[in-house]
Structure 1
Amino acid sequence: MLIGMPQAAAAVVHGKDPSTVRPAAALPLKLLRPLLLVAVLGTGFLAAVALLVGGPAYSSALPRPPVALPPAPPSGGGKQPLERWARAPASAWHNMTDDELLWAASWRPSVRRYPYRRTPKVAFMFLTRGPLPLAPLWERFFAGAGGGDAGLFSVYVHATPGYRPDFAPASAFYRRQVPSQVAEWGEPSMFDAERRLLANALLDPGNERFVLLSESCVPLYGFPAVYSYLTRSRESFVGAFDDPGPGGRGRYQGGLAPEVVREQFRKGAQWFELERALAVDVVADGRYYPKFREHCRPPCYADEHYLPTALSILAPARIANRSVTWVDWSRGGAHPATFGEADVGEAFLRRLTAPGKDQGNCTYNGQPAQVCFLFARKLAPGTLQPLLRLAPKLLGYG
């Protein structure tokens, strides 16, 4: 009789008379041991396969959230806070190819309203050959944001491949170098690098404004003024004008047709500033940029003509038709003037920051503006010390 069962129920086990059920024959010990060994080895093999296949599935970061974070404590029924998926990567470095990067950067939400508290950031994108000799000045400028923890800015550096910067962990430039390729002056690879910077900056969903800078650029005002100017603007700052001469339409290449005809060809400064939606359009452009990359070769320069032309066609009402970076072309030639230590004094900086000829005539959000330029170039490495000395008094930071 089975323990705990009534006598009537004990008479039937699985529909059979217990008197007719024979106990299963026990396996010999010499057969049982090999079977157990095979089972253990098989389990270990399957576990190893699971680790290899299901381990770091985001090694190329596609698709993936902007950053992998440790699980947050459950809240609201066990759901993770949305902010967890919207935080910026701790480092600008990654292992994506350019194709993967552009694909990841071109994602955008269809719902325009953010369902979480979002503070827009300005992405400062440095296109440089290598060292950043004016970095100490920029460090003082970024200090005006209240430190990196304030979440008002981010930094990206595209340098010559192989260059390894040496910034302290407390620096705004620490771990901000992006994977790069060679960028040659006058070649489409120059705008490839600019596009690569944009794509890397777009991986941070907090970035709202994107400004392109070089190692010879300096800020003309303190961080609060620059941040407010950019984030409150209803337009992106891209210069685009129709030059009928040899330096404008004369550079037009027939291979750009039919996407771009000669009458649509525009020219502008390389140093642009874009809001997020236009930045996504630029990295996702499969219509105009492939034509410029193939056919816009010297004397056509992609970094001077692609963005002004494409945005004049696609979004003319969304660009201000000017740059926010001051450059002196008065000396003529293929490159703007470079200013050295002897040039940078109080008179020079007052001339660039005071309303007048050098600030030019411009509008801001449809109204006449006294400030047209936020940055200036080209300043040589030797200008660092006078700039550090004069910035607190004349530029509002440091």
Structure 2
Amino acid sequence: MAARTVKRRHVSSRLSCKLFIVFTVSIFCVVVLVTAVRRNVPLDFLWGAFFQNGDVSNFSIYVHSTPGFVLDESTTRSHFFYGRQLTNSIQVLWGESSMIQAERLLLSAALEDPANQRFVLLSDSCVPLYNFSYVYNYIMVSPRSFVDSFLDAKEGRYNPRMSPKIPREKWRKGSQWVTLVRNHAEVIVDDEVIFSVFKRYCKRRPPIDIRKGKLNLKLQKQHNCIPDEHYVQTLLALHGLEGELERRTVTYTLWNQSATKTDNKGWHPITFSYANAGPRKIKEIKDISHVYYETEYRTEWCHSNSTSVPCFLFARKFSRGAAMRLLSDGVIDHFELSALLGNE
């Protein structure tokens, strides 16, 4: 049985419970977060194949994209995405509170449909590892949210000025790629107090600028807080909801752990290419059965509704070539690749 070590200090009846996917361009209820200007949704052909095998009454798609971006025949090959972008999207910058504001906008839009009962936040570089039916049942059968959440005791991201609204013992860290039950999504959308604290005190440390000389020493003493790695986890902890969570994400990320203390870029996720997205690697990801959180000395065995399951349903970050290989290798299901991609 395989395990993943986290070293970062880091189904229902047809009474129509929909799975909401939010992508960052958003999908299940899928919520997709696309935060940069793009000509298209790069992996739309893979997601189109994924949704093709799902009942359209069982999922909704919401996309947060750069303001003005429209999903239509000219920007996506998949009709599932047509017109699914938010009309009130904002400009988003990595490492700033605008990222969690975009997530809140996605969830708010999805909550307007009472049929949406599960909310999956994904990015446009995410891929599914199983077909629709498996993913739907895995998530819908669980009464819990899947939220990667652990104590952040070894990093200097917590700003004491956040207290007393956010006491140190409630400060959490984890992946932003969460899967939520409806009442937890409502907690996030209804929050104004903690979000305001994050906007004021959780900010990314500015990069080193050689033109600033000795001023860099002062700047590098600032708290280096990445809002989207803390907000949902900390908010749910403050509401006493951790007992209602599977404290893990269902989205796999492979981190580059080679950075040294002098590397100002730090760790970053590795992008899978055609060459390293073969069947052996995908099977390795699918075989992961538990996650170890070293800051808590905790092993999180992966369950859905008390049943042992593989840990991950999705993975990131995947290039277009890597996604094409998943299709051709039949990871999602067997599809005619040429028919999905069209003539190029």
Tell me the TM-score normalised to structure 1 length.
0.65
Aligned in 2, Cα 1:202/1:397: closer, same or farther, shift over 3 Å? farther
Q: Find the aligned partners of 1:396 and 1:294 in 2 and give their Cα distance.
A: 46
Give the structure 1 partner of residue 5 of structure 2.
none
Give the structure 1 partner of residue 175 of structure 2.
269
Structure with greater strand percent: 2
The CA deviation at 1:265 is 0.8
Give the structure 1 partner of residue 52 of structure 2.
143
The CA deviation at 1:165 is 2.9
Give the structure 1 partner of residue 279 of structure 2.
346
Q: Find the aligned partners of 1:127 and 1:170 in 2 and give their Cα distance.
A: 17
Which digits, 9 at most, give the CA deviation of each residue in 1:190-219, with x for residues without a partner?
A: 111111111111111110000000111000
Q: Find the aligned partners of 1:235 and 1:313 in 2 and give their Cα distance.
A: 17
Cα RMSD over matched residues? 2.3
Q: Which has the higher contact order (CA 8 A, sep 6+)?
A: 2
Match of 2:245 among 312, 319, 323: 319
Letter in 2 for 1:119: S
Q: Find the aligned partners of 1:322 and 1:341 in 2 and give their Cα distance.
A: 27
Give the structure 2 partner of residue 172 of structure 1.
80
- Residues 269 and 304, structure 1, Cα contact 8 Å, conserved in 2: yes
Give the structure 2 partner of residue 390 of structure 1.
329
Give the structure 2 partner of residue 152 of structure 1.
58
Aligned in 2, Cα 1:170/1:370: closer, same or farther, shift over 3 Å? closer
Letter in 1 for 2:308: A
Aligned in 2, Cα 1:382/1:363: closer, same or farther, shift over 3 Å? closer
- Aligned runs of 1:289-308 on 2, under 5 Å? 289-298=195-204, 299-308=224-233
Give the structure 1 partner of residue 25 of structure 2.
none
Q: Find the aligned partners of 2:288 and 2:157 in 1 and give their Cα distance.
A: 34
Secondary structure, counterpart of 1:125 in structure 2: strand
Give the structure 2 partner of residue 371 of structure 1.
310
- Aligned runs of 1:48-67 on 2, under 5 Å? none
The CA deviation at 1:361 is 5.5
Q: Aligned pair 1:186/2:95, yes or no?
A: yes
Give the structure 2 partner of residue 287 of structure 1.
193
The CA deviation at 1:358 is 8.7
- Residues 222 and 397, structure 1, Cα contact 8 Å, conserved in 2: no
Q: Aligned pair 1:235/2:161, yes or no?
A: no
Aligned in 2, Cα 1:143/1:358: closer, same or farther, shift over 3 Å? farther
The CA deviation at 1:397 is 5.7
Give the structure 2 partner of residue 88 of structure 1.
none
Q: Find the aligned partners of 2:77 and 2:102 in 1 and give their Cα distance.
A: 26
The CA deviation at 1:292 is 1.2
Letter in 1 for 2:227: A
The CA deviation at 1:334 is 3.5
Letter in 1 for 2:79: S
Aligned in 2, Cα 1:361/1:287: closer, same or farther, shift over 3 Å? closer
- Aligned runs of 1:216-255 on 2, under 5 Å? 216-246=125-155, 250-255=156-161
Q: Aligned pair 1:198/2:107, yes or no?
A: yes
Between stretches 268-277 and 289-298, larger displacement belongs to: 289-298
Q: Find the aligned partners of 2:69 and 2:199 in 1 and give their Cα distance.
A: 26
- Residues 50 and 132, structure 2, Cα contact 8 Å, conserved in 1: yes
Letter in 2 for 1:121: K
Aligned in 2, Cα 1:240/1:357: closer, same or farther, shift over 3 Å? closer
Which digits, 9 at most, give the CA deviation of each residue in 1:296-325, with x for residues without a partner?
A: 111112111111111112111111111010
Q: Find the aligned partners of 1:345 and 1:142 in 2 and give their Cα distance.
A: 22
- Residues 361 and 368, structure 1, Cα contact 8 Å, conserved in 2: no
Unaligned runs of 5+ in 2: 1-13, 20-28, 205-223, 259-265, 293-298, 336-344
Q: Find the aligned partners of 1:321 and 1:370 in 2 and give their Cα distance.
A: 14
- Residues 198 and 231, structure 2, Cα contact 8 Å, conserved in 1: yes
Q: How many residues align?
A: 275
Secondary structure, counterpart of 1:385 in structure 2: helix
The CA deviation at 1:342 is 1.2
Letter in 2 for 1:331: Q
Q: Percent same amino acid at aligned positions?
A: 39
- Residues 30 and 121, structure 2, Cα contact 8 Å, conserved in 1: yes
Unaligned runs of 5+ in 1: 1-116
- Residues 202 and 227, structure 2, Cα contact 8 Å, conserved in 1: yes
Q: Find the aligned partners of 1:254 and 1:152 in 2 and give their Cα distance.
A: 44
Give the structure 2 partner of residue 45 of structure 1.
none
Structure with greater helix percent: 1
Match of 2:234 among 306, 309, 331: 309
